[in-house]
Amino acid sequence: LVQVGVGGETVPLPIELHTLFFDAEANPSDPEGRRLVDTFGFLGQSNIVECDPGEDDEQSTTNCKQLNGASAYFDGGLVEMTQVGEHHIGSTRNNDFSNR
């Protein structure tokens, strides 16, 4: 789950523009907000595999950009939404069909 600029987009907003889990403009170093963005964007893969940010092999389990290390099931738990406003989101799980 990532925040996108407008509905129908598939490219996540840069974390500096994030407003869903935290107000990045008002508090850019909010550790809990940044953790939530990472957890939901990468489906908790860092708990399963050792992610390699430089990996470009689409089939490698360490290529977390492709969600290769993600489980088929993801439980993000309950998250209190504290940011009032209109937010557009997209699914990271269904965004790239190259390895599914």
Query: How does pLDDT run across 24-40, given as a tens digit for each residue?
Result: 999 999 999 999 998 88
Q: What is the pLDDT of residue 27?
A: 94
Q: Measured on CA atoms in the order 27, 33, 35, 40, is the torsion positive or negative?
A: negative
88/100 Cα distance (integer angstroms)? 25
Tell me: the pLDDT tens digits for 30-68? 999 999 998 888 888 878 888 887 888 888 888 888 888
Q: What is the pLDDT of residue 24?
A: 94
The pTM score is 0.79
Q: How confident is the model at residue 78 (pLDDT cuts 50, 70, 90)?
A: very high
95/92 Cα distance (integer angstroms)? 5
